């Protein structure tokens, strides 16, 4: 049995699998150690946001997900009636995709297998010791060594605990209910949500054409412990009371009680140990964000860790992982805490606040601001980030949208297709224009393309741009 890897990832959830795919794509010898012997069948995360679909598109994989899910053109903030509109964003995916987490994980694991990642199932990580120049990992009764270890082992992360990284925040105060069921009486509209003095309910199709998801916050049942199993009768009764409709739930594939526990890791990196996904941040599942942010953590860390392992970038590049991604975790912490407050109180003051927010979200700029935050479309890294959001111009740190490029004035290619190998991309729109690379970047890692965008859009006035492997601009030269 092989005992030495360049990187060991603990946990084969969506964050760990995507990180392993990115590392292997860059040639890193990586193993994923997963305590479960089988993949989880739980439908958990249903919402895949447009930015995550872009991440998959950057590797040529988006079709695998889109073909298996159901696009929903709008999203929600705190189950408010005014839906979030994704149509103003420059993207090929102006929607959220409903696809059960089990199907997402199946596709990620398939990709990992295609790339040759070692996935060791039934191998629980039990100890992690950072020895300065390498890490010793005890797992499945064996001892392994690696250069780095990444904890993608979820909310109760053992890796986080072994690295003595604090996980501060709030303990659970309320429980909510979830039921993935067949409805005897399905609603007329695809997504239905009601929040009033009786509680909150949201009903949405699971994407398989058979099941619906019902999410309930019932003021009479909010203090039932998470460990108490949810019953179909409980779901039917709460839905009837809040929705005023006997939707006749039956044949459940998953019934669960979840909480509003909210915590953020005090550090995303400590020496040779890093955290991604739920190991770094947990919160009430509001707005469909946890898995999406975890996959995007992994996308940010993947190319950086690979470059450091390969010796082509200084170790300090790893610090930029925390600098870029922990603020995203802080935003996630704050917006889910706010949303949890809005869906777990049914007093007149909170209902009036909801009505006010409904009105505010009807203002296109406010709607765009919130849709941009929850979807990840508006995320930009670094000091120029705020300007990117306000003036919509491409700048260093901004998300680079996909676009059709005319190469040498004739052949047309999609920009994202030029990043599929996990490479950097230097785009020269004006002959001879050069966007400056980081001093350490090896030119062999960069694909150089002279092109012209078919539609200017965000590229108006850009002479050259250097795009990172994760699809964010590293440098932009303007006219």
Strands 424-428 and 446-453, sheet pairing: parallel
Q: Which long-range contacts link 473-476 to residues 24+ away (Cβ below 8 Å)?
A: 473/394, 473/395, 473/396, 473/397, 473/398, 473/400, 474/396, 474/424, 474/435, 474/437, 474/438, 475/396, 475/435, 475/436, 475/437, 476/394, 476/395, 476/396, 476/398, 476/435
Q: How far is the CB of 189 from ligand FAD (least distance, A)?
A: 19
Binding segment for ligand FAD (CB under 6 A), chosen from 285-293, 304-312, 425-433, 462-470, is 285-293
* Interaction of residue 34 with ligand FAD, rule CB under 6 A: yes
Single out the residue of 8, 45, 275, 313 in contact with ligand FAD (rule: CB under 6 A): 45
**Interface with ligand FAD (CB under 6 A), residue from 53, 84, 178, 265:** 178
- Least distance between ligand FAD and beta carbon 160 (Å): 10
Q: Which is nearer to ligand FAD, 35 or 463 (CB)?
A: 35
Cβ pair 86, 71 in contact under 8 A: no
Instruction: Give whichever of 76 and 345 is closer to ligand FAD, judged by the CB atom.
Output: 76
The distance of closest approach from Cβ of residue 343 to ligand FAD in the complex, given in angstroms and rounded to an integer, is 13
Distances (CA, A) of 86 to 75, 97, 269, 373, 461: 8, 12, 33, 11, 25
Q: Which stretch binds ligand FAD (CB under 6 A): 14-22, 217-225, 228-236, 381-389?
A: 14-22
Answer yes or no whether residue 292 interacts with ligand FAD by CB under 6 A. yes
Element (H, E) at 104: helix 101-115
Distance CA 415, CA 274 (A): 31
CB nearer to ligand FAD: give 10 or 217.
10
Task: Please report the DSSP string for 26-63 in residue order.
Answer: TT--EEEEES-SS--------EE-HHHHHHHHTTT-HH
Cα 154 to Cα 13, 117, 159, 230, distances in angstroms? 8, 20, 10, 23
Distance CA 347, CA 163 (A): 43
For residue 15, the SS3 value is: helix
Alpha-helical (H) ranges within 289-375 are 290-309, 319-343, 348-361, 364-375
CA distances from 276 to 109, 171, 262, 294, 322 (A): 17, 21, 16, 6, 10
DSSP per-residue codes, 297-313: HHHHHHHHHHHHHTTSS
Of the candidates 47, 162, 262, 403, which one interacts with ligand FAD according to CB under 6 A?
47
Closer residue to ligand FAD, CB minimum distance, 13 or 252: 13
- Binding range to ligand FAD, per CB under 6 A, among 13-21, 80-88, 238-246, 386-394: 13-21
Which one of 1-9, 70-78, 151-159, 333-341 is the stretch in contact with ligand FAD (CB under 6 A)?
151-159
Say whether residue 10 binds ligand FAD (CB under 6 A): yes
319-343 vs 290-309: helix axis angle to the nearest 10? 180
Among 9, 15, 108, 239, which residue sits at the site for ligand FAD (rule: CB under 6 A)?
15
* 3-class secondary-structure state, position 353: helix
> Which CB atom, from 322 or from 425, has the smaller least distance to ligand FAD?
322
Residue 302 found at the interface with ligand FAD (CB under 6 A):
no
| 221-260: contacts with ligand FAD (CB under 6 A) | 256, 258
Is 151 one of the binding residues for ligand FAD (CB under 6 A)?
no
Q: Is 468 in the site for ligand FAD (CB under 6 A)?
A: no
Q: With CB under 6 A as the contact rule, which of the stretches 9-17, 56-64, 228-236, 382-390 interacts with ligand FAD? A: 9-17
Instruction: Report whether 130 contacts 123 (CB < 8 A).
Output: no
Under rule CB under 6 A, how many of the chain's residues touch ligand FAD? Answer: 34
Q: Which stretch binds ligand FAD (CB under 6 A): 4-12, 224-232, 457-465, 468-476?
A: 4-12
Among 35, 269, 326, 399, indicate the residue that binds ligand FAD (CB under 6 A). 35
- Give, as ranges, the residues between 263 and 282 that touch ligand FAD (CB under 6 A): 277-278
Q: Are 330 and 267 in contact (CB under 8 A)?
A: no
Q: Single out the segment in contact with ligand FAD by CB under 6 A; choices: 75-83, 286-294, 372-380, 406-414.
A: 286-294
Other Cβ atoms less than 10 A from the Cβ of 457: the count is 12
CA–CA separation, 243 and 292 (whole Å): 29
Query: Which strands sit side by side in the sheet containing 473-478, from one edge to the other?
Result: 411-414, 404-407, 446-453, 424-428, 462-467, 473-478
Measured between alpha carbons, how far is 317 from 313 in angstroms, rounded to an integer?
Answer: 7
Contact string (CB under 6 A) for ligand FAD, positions 109-148, x = contact: ---------------xx-----------------------
- Least distance in angstroms from the C-beta of 110 to ligand FAD: 16
Residue with Cβ nearer ligand FAD (257 or 345): 257
Q: Which of residues 316-355 bind ligand FAD (CB under 6 A)?
A: none
* 291 scored as a contact of ligand FAD (CB under 6 A): yes
Among positions 5, 14, 253, 475, the unique one binding ligand FAD when judged by CB under 6 A = 14
102 binds ligand FAD per the rule CB under 6 A: no
Rounded CA separation 269/471 (Å): 22
Q: What are the residues binding ligand FAD (CB under 6 A)?
A: 10-16, 33-36, 44-47, 101, 124-125, 152-154, 158, 178, 256, 258, 277-278, 285, 288-292, 294
């Amino acid at each position: 049995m092989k005992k030495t890897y360049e990187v060991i990832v603990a946990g084969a959830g969506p964050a760990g699998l995507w990180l392993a795919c990115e590392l292997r794509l860059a040639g890193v010898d990586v193993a994923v150690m997963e305590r479960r012997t089988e993949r989880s069948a739980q439908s958990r995360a249903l919402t895949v946001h447009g930015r995550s679909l872009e991440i998959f598109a950057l590797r040529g994989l988006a079709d695998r997900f889109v073909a298996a899910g159901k696009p929903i053109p709008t999203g929600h903030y705190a189950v408010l009636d005014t839906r979030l509109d994704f149509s103003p964003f420059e993207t090929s995916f102006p929607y959220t995709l409903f696809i059960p987490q089990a199907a997402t994980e199946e596709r990620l694991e398939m990709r990992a297998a295609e790339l040759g990642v070692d996935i060791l199932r039934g191998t629980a990580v039990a100890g992690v010791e950072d020895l300065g120049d390498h890490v010793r990992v005890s797992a499945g009764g064996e001892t392994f060594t690696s250069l780095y270890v990444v904890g993608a082992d979820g909310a109760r992360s053992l890796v986080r605990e072994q690295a003595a990284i604090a996980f501060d925040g709030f303990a659970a105060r309320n429980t909510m209910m979830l039921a993935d069921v067949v409805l005897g009486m399905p609603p007329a509209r695809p997504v239905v949500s009601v929040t009033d003095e009786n509680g909150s309910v949201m009903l949405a199709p699971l994407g398989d054409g058979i099941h619906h998801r019902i999410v309930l916050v019932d003021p009479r049942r909010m203090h039932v412990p998470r460990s108490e199993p949810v019953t179909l009768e409980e779901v039917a009764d709460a839905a009837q009371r809040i929705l005023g409709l006997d939707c006749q739930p039956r044949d459940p594939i998953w019934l669960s009680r979840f909480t509003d526990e909210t915590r953020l890791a005090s550090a995303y990196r400590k020496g040779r140990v890093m955290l991604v996904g739920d190991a770094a941040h947990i919160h009430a599942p509001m707005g469909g964000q946890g898995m999406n942010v975890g996959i995007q953590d992994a996308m940010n860390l993947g190319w950086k860790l690979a470059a450091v392992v390969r010796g082509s970038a200084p170790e300090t590049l790893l610090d930029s992982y925390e600098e870029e991604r922990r603020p995203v975790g802080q935003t996630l912490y704050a917006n889910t805490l706010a949303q949890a407050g809005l869906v777990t109180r049914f007093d007149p003051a909170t209902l009036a606040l909801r009505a006010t927010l409904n009105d505010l979200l009807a203002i296109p700029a406010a709607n765009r601001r919130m849709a941009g935050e929850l979807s990840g479309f508006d995320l930009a890294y670094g000091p120029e980030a705020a300007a990117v959001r306000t003036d919509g111009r491409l700048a260093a740190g901004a998300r680079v949208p996909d676009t059709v490029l005319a190469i040498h004035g004739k052949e047309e290619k999609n920009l994202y297709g030029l990043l599929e190998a996990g490479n950097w991309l230097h785009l020269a729109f004006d002959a001879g224009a050069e966007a400056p690379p980081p001093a350490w970047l090896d030119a062999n890692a960069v694909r150089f393309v002279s092109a012209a965008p078919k539609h200017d859009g965000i590229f108006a006035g850009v002479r050259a741009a250097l795009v990172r492997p994760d699809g964010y601009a590293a440098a932009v030269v303007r006219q």
